[in-house]
Amino acid sequence: MPKQNFETSLKRLDEIVKKLEQGDAPLDDALKLFDEGTKLVGACNKILDTAEQKVALILKGADGEPQESVFEGQ
């Protein structure tokens, strides 16, 4: 499987879930979809872990200790 970005992987994972939820795929196809889905989940988790580590590095203070700040999202 070629390296994909998070959004592409998540979109494909959503497609797989929908196909599996329909319940009409032959067992062999369902197993292949499930296998692909588990690989995509692992890839997405790895991407998220990497992003979390980058954010943690960015948020470290001058003394190397993490700085907490209030998230002002939408």
pLDDT in tens, 17-30: 999 999 999 999 99
Token pair listed for 61: 């203070």
CA distance 72 to 37: 33
Q: What is the pLDDT of residue 68?
A: 66
Which residues of the chain are modeled with pLDDT < 70? 1-3, 68-74
Counting beta carbons within 10 angstroms of the beta carbon of residue 68, is it exposed (0 to 12), middle (13 to 18) or buried (19 or more)?
Answer: exposed
Q: What is the pLDDT of residue 55?
A: 80
Q: What is the pLDDT of residue 71?
A: 55
Q: What is the pLDDT of residue 56?
A: 74
Delimit the domains of the chain by residue range: 6-58
CA distance 5 to 29: 24
Q: What is the pLDDT of residue 74?
A: 45
CA distance 55 to 65: 13
